[in-house]
Amino acid sequence: MRVSLDLWDGLDVAGMIGDIEAAFDTHLTPAELRQSFTMGDLQDRLVARLPAEAERGKGCPTAIAFWRLRAALRPHVPGLTLRPSTPIGALRHLSHVRLRRVIEADTGFALPPPEITMGFLLGWLALLIAVPGGTYQAGLSGGLAFALALAILALPRLWPHRLPGRIVTLGDLARDVADRNPVRLARLGARLDEQAIWNRLCVIASDYGDVPAADIARHTRLTGS
């Protein structure tokens, strides 16, 4: 388990706190933040804001996330039976850009950030080669390099999806969505408890600290000091 997230500076901490407040639709006071040194401290602040247990939903967050995803995607993939085991690659009729737009527009769910693909990087490299006045490397003319750049940059739109590699099935996507959207799902009847809060905190901290969520513990400090 990591001892610290090793956030670089106050801006990283402020950005992470801002995302936490947005994710849980709350505001952490300056006094609370001054007393928050570890991930466990942040979890305690948020758990204290939970409604009484009798007022909380009882539904499974992952199940509710899956059914909402299924309802959003079904009109766009006629004839395809959507199950938790359905491979993401089966949604080949949707580009990754359109997939995101459909889900975000129909559900409001926050999705995992897209991965930067080799095709995208090669496309930008080809564009740099094609810049007017630049040197033409590898024997490519400016026109050929420009055409190559456009072709490579178009590949991600032709490939089905560019979700993180760990998300292979719709069930994987539902689990990620459940971790990223605890408050929105709670409003749909999902339970919101200490574990759901912890899962979401770890997802946010992982994005900022470049630390796998599974390596974060309650004693993990926000900064190295």
172/142 same-domain check: no
Is the pLDDT reported for residue 45 higher than 90? yes
86/173 same-domain check: yes
Domain that holds residue 101: 61-113+165-178
DSSP string over 41-79: HHHHHHHTTPPPGGGS--B-HHHHHHHHHHHHHGGGSTT
Ramachandran quadrant class, 79 (left: phi over 0; alpha: psi -120 to 50; beta: rest): left
Name the band, by pLDDT with cuts 50, 70 and 90, for residue 161: very low
In a domain, 187, yes or no: no
Average pLDDT over residues 53-65: 88
The C-alpha atoms of residue 141 and residue 208 are separated, in whole angstroms, by: 41
Name the band, by pLDDT with cuts 50, 70 and 90, for residue 208: confident
Return the pLDDT at 147. Answer: 59
Return the pLDDT at 62. Answer: 96
Residues in the chain: 225
In a domain, 55, yes or no: no
153/169 same-domain check: no
DSSP-derived secondary structure letter, 80? P
Return the pLDDT at 160. Answer: 40
Say how many domains are in the chain.
3
DSSP string over 152-181: HHHHHHHSS----TT--BHHHHHHHHHHH-
24/127 same-domain check: no
Of the candidates 162, 155, 164, the residue with the CA atom closest to the CA atom of residue 122: 155
Average pLDDT over residues 86-105: 90
Q: Which two tokens stand for residue 130?
A: 């094609």
Is the pLDDT reported for residue 135 higher than 50? no
Mean pLDDT of the chain: 83
Instruction: Read off the pLDDT of residues 12-41 as tens digits, 9 standing for 90 and up.
Output: 889 999 999 998 989 999 999 999 999 999
Return the pLDDT at 211. Answer: 87
Return the pLDDT at 144. Answer: 59
Average pLDDT over residues 36-48: 96
76/172 same-domain check: yes
Q: Which residue(s) pair with 59 in the sheet?
A: 190
- State pTM to two decimals: 0.72
46/13 same-domain check: yes
Return the pLDDT at 158. Answer: 46
Average pLDDT over residues 106-127: 68
- Which is it for the CA torsion 189, 195, 198, 199, positive or negative? negative
Name the band, by pLDDT with cuts 50, 70 and 90, for residue 2: confident
Distances (CA, A) of 3 to 43, 194, 216, 223, 225: 16, 21, 8, 9, 11
Is the pLDDT reported for residue 159 higher than 80? no
The C-alpha atoms of residue 197 and residue 183 are separated, in whole angstroms, by: 9
Name the band, by pLDDT with cuts 50, 70 and 90, for residue 166: confident
Is the pLDDT reported for residue 189 higher than 70? yes
Rg (CA), the chain: 21
Contacts of 39 (CB under 8 A, 6+ apart): 5, 201, 202, 205, 216, 217, 218, 219, 220, 221, 222
